[in-house]
Structure 1
Amino acid sequence: MVTITTCVPDSCQNADQVLVKELINANAPSVQYMVFNQNMVLYHFQQGLANIKDHEIVRDETTFNAYSLTKTFTALAVLQLVEQGKVDLEASVSTYLPDCPYPAEITIKHLLTHTSGIADPIPLSWVHLVEEDSTFNEKKFFKTVFEKNRTLKFKPGEKFKYSNLGYVLLGQVIAAVSGISYEKYITQNIISKLNLPPGALGFQIYDTRNHATGYHKKWSFSNLLLSCFINKSKFMGKAENSWQPFKFLYVNGKAYGGLIGTTNGLVKYLQEFLKPETRLISQANKRLLLTETKTANDKNTGMCLAWFTGELNGTRYYTHAGGGGGFYLEMRIYPEKGIGSLIVFNRSGMSDERFLNQVDKFFVQ
């Protein structure tokens, strides 16, 4: 199904061709792509299967694991707490977490900008089945991970190196400062302000009948490598055509990758960043959130506070990708143009592919 709300015909047709080609070439079971302004969706492509075995077509209600897109919610929550005078970006993490396993010179800002020097072990194995969630202890799990990764890779502020562990700590800071769990804070202070229907955004699969199955290419070298990181017999099912499905999973660290929701839910969130005045944060802190940072050596990092930055057709954008077992996503905002975009595949993605360059170029001119 392809739905077009309003856009320049040539732009829509060109985007259609790129996205349909992905499905024809079996590069993903399904794809959802949206272009929007602060008030409405301008273009919406939605096609393919959310579940191959049962031939379930992807729909507006289909939910997916958003993985690292969650980090932008975490950063926003930290800035909200800064506004409330409860967090200082330049303060040591140990100010808020006395049992922090890392040196006191690491600040909150270092964590937000991935310049802390904290290691980033491959997180593919940091997942658990949905049915294991009631007994899973996140703090206990990561205490062990921190103990195994105590050595910093470089002096804080010296370099940029992506770190999921840094965002685990930020989640703990949010919980410690607010007095409620990370998930509850995000739900009460961000998600609830978006006026979304139940299940549109959250940290649990609201309805398993609407949740997309995530897939990995069966005949691929990366599928062989998965055996080095996860118990495939536990976390994956039998192959369906050329794809091997993942069972429904939760990420162990909610603050770096635990968000689950629909495309409409994420679009509502992104539209807030396109508005002159957002309900989520002050204008001053929104500018801070989207200001590119530098290392101690005055080198640009390409990273703001959780958001990456880039340029397409001469227009600056802010972006984040989310990928892992079974899903790959990218989201962007182009403040100069007053538009944003989002793309979701229910196939694995292990790196920032910048796939949106291939389709956004028709709308950003």
Structure 2
Amino acid sequence: MTMNEIDNTLIKEIKNNKTPSVQYCFFTQDTILKSVQMGFADIYGQKKVDKNTTYNAFSITKTFTALAILQLSDRGKIDINKPVNQYLSEFPYGANITVKNLLTHTAGIPNPIPLAWIHLEIEHKTFDRDSFFQPVFDKNDKVKSKPNEKFKYSNLGYMVLGLLIEKVTGNTYEDYITENIIRRLPINPYDLAFVANNGEVHAKGYHKKMSFSNLLLGFFIDKSKFMGKTEGKWRSFNNYYVNGSPYGGLIGSPTSFVKYIQELLKEKSVLISEENKALLFQENKNNKGENTGLCLSWFSGELNGNKYFAHAGGGGGYYCEIRIYTEINKGSIIFFNRTGLSDERFLDKLDKYFINE
């Protein structure tokens, strides 16, 4: 019954043209309890998805950035309670913002619309990240609120964390994440990276052609450049990368994110100390002592009386969610190759069949 309800829910998403494809997994730290792969990675080519298919993961990357900061805390290289400008002298937002403020989106740093912050795959070798972001920081150099006064989501804040990782380690952000997180997971190099290592297995991103949001897209991106032809009821995206890796650059298979969460579920994870893992999933309180709904990059929630920590990732052509239930030692993921621009908490619809009061 449980399996049929989950399958039926996902089949309807595809049959009702809500997504070209979907992948879902529910698992423990060492066992896959449910795995679903449905639909097309390429509608025109009639290519079906499988466990090796990769998707743009967008803001799920932020959980890797936060994990990297805590790894450096484990090594004594970063104190998250110290001001950012002790590590980055060029930090433009003052001396009172701490590393933890950045991690919990309470620094007050602006969040200009990021949908246009992308470049085509064919432009990647010549893309200059620093030249792109310097004018963005210059234009958004004033904070919107005092440190820890309130939650305000900021991609720029996580861009700063990426720069901090580079400053402290002397490596590029991408190299640090690859060496210290990705390569510690039992996955192959094609499963998870900051580029589509194997274009043959990468899902094409799609946006519903007959939709109001399709009209709005033209205000944010050059559709003639970034979008391809119409395929059925969908308009395809040309392969592209996010300009800022630390807030949204990862591309990977759903299976690779399962391995990532399974490693975080382990009592002695190779990724992080138990002390800092507890900190990773500790909900932040603002200056008034009010819960903000966010831990160190992970959002908190509850399903059927069970606490979970989650993050969504979405943008043009893709939407995904990852989730970890630390108290019952389980996790889940879902990936779509259709546009998603807000945290839908779609996993609530599926995980509920496994999660009891």
Q: Which TM-score band applies after superposition, normalised by the shorter structure? A: over 0.9
Alignment counterpart, residue 341 of structure 2, candidates 329, 350, 359: 350
Alignment counterpart, residue 247 of structure 1, candidates 238, 253, 276: 238
Q: Does 1:66 align with 2:57?
A: yes
Alignment counterpart, residue 260 of structure 1, candidates 251, 258, 280: 251
- Corresponding residue for 1:232? 223
- Corresponding residue for 2:198? 207
Q: Does 1:317 align with 2:317?
A: no
- Corresponding residue for 1:137? 128
How far the C-alpha of 1:150 sits from its partner, in A, is 1.1
- Identity across matched positions, percent: 54
Amino acid in the other structure paired with 1:276: E
1:86-125 mapped onto 2 (5 Å cutoff):
86-125=77-116
Amino acid in the other structure paired with 2:256: G
Other structure's SS at 2:287 match: coil
Q: Does 1:276 align with 2:267?
A: yes
How far the C-alpha of 1:46 sits from its partner, in A, is 0.5
- Corresponding residue for 1:163? 154
CA deviation profile, 1:295-334 (whole Å, cap 9, x unmatched): 1111100000000000000000000000001000001011
How far the C-alpha of 1:198 sits from its partner, in A, is 2.1
CA deviation profile, 1:32-80 (whole Å, cap 9, x unmatched): 0000110021100111000001011001111111100000000000000
- Corresponding residue for 1:154? 145
**Shift >6 Å, 4+ stretches:** none
The separation in 2 between residues aligned to 1:212 and 1:12, in whole angstroms, is: 25
The separation in 1 between residues aligned to 2:111 and 2:337, in whole angstroms, is: 24
Amino acid in the other structure paired with 1:319: A
The separation in 2 between residues aligned to 1:132 and 1:97, in whole angstroms, is: 29
RMSD: 0.7
CA deviation profile, 1:181-218 (whole Å, cap 9, x unmatched): 00000001001100211211111111111110000011
Q: Does 1:295 align with 2:295?
A: no
The separation in 2 between residues aligned to 1:141 and 1:297, in whole angstroms, is: 37
How far the C-alpha of 1:142 sits from its partner, in A, is 0.9
The separation in 2 between residues aligned to 1:97 and 1:126, in whole angstroms, is: 23
Alignment counterpart, residue 174 of structure 1, candidates 153, 165, 177: 165
Amino acid in the other structure paired with 1:159: K
How far the C-alpha of 1:134 sits from its partner, in A, is 0.8
Any stretches of 5+ residues in structure 2 without a counterpart? Answer: none
- Corresponding residue for 2:319? 328
Q: Does 1:76 align with 2:76?
A: no
Amino acid in the other structure paired with 2:80: L
Q: Is the 8 A contact 1:325 1:348 kept in 2?
A: yes
- Corresponding residue for 1:341? 332
- Corresponding residue for 1:221? 212
The separation in 2 between residues aligned to 1:40 and 1:141, in whole angstroms, is: 43
Amino acid in the other structure paired with 1:154: S
Amino acid in the other structure paired with 2:249: G
Normalised TM-score (structure 2)? 0.99
How far the C-alpha of 1:151 sits from its partner, in A, is 1.6
How far the C-alpha of 1:277 sits from its partner, in A, is 1.3
How far the C-alpha of 1:273 sits from its partner, in A, is 1.6
The separation in 1 between residues aligned to 2:215 and 2:144, in whole angstroms, is: 29
Q: Does 1:46 align with 2:74?
A: no
Alignment counterpart, residue 196 of structure 1, candidates 176, 179, 187: 187
The separation in 2 between residues aligned to 1:119 and 1:165, in whole angstroms, is: 7
The separation in 1 between residues aligned to 2:69 and 2:255, in whole angstroms, is: 24
CA deviation profile, 1:266-289 (whole Å, cap 9, x unmatched): 100000121111110000100000
Alignment counterpart, residue 14 of structure 1, candidates 5, 15, 18: 5
The separation in 2 between residues aligned to 1:222 and 1:122, in whole angstroms, is: 15
Q: Is the 8 A contact 1:215 1:347 kept in 2?
A: yes
Alignment counterpart, residue 184 of structure 1, candidates 142, 157, 175: 175
The separation in 2 between residues aligned to 1:217 and 1:79, in whole angstroms, is: 39
- Corresponding residue for 1:5? none
- Corresponding residue for 1:285? 276
Other structure's SS at 2:229 match: coil
The separation in 2 between residues aligned to 1:296 and 1:146, in whole angstroms, is: 26
Other structure's SS at 2:10 match: helix
How far the C-alpha of 1:90 sits from its partner, in A, is 1.2
The separation in 1 between residues aligned to 2:96 and 2:234, in whole angstroms, is: 46
The separation in 2 between residues aligned to 1:208 and 1:224, in whole angstroms, is: 28
The separation in 2 between residues aligned to 1:260 and 1:134, in whole angstroms, is: 17
Other structure's SS at 2:9 match: helix
The separation in 2 between residues aligned to 1:154 and 1:92, in whole angstroms, is: 16
Alignment counterpart, residue 308 of structure 1, candidates 289, 299, 303: 299
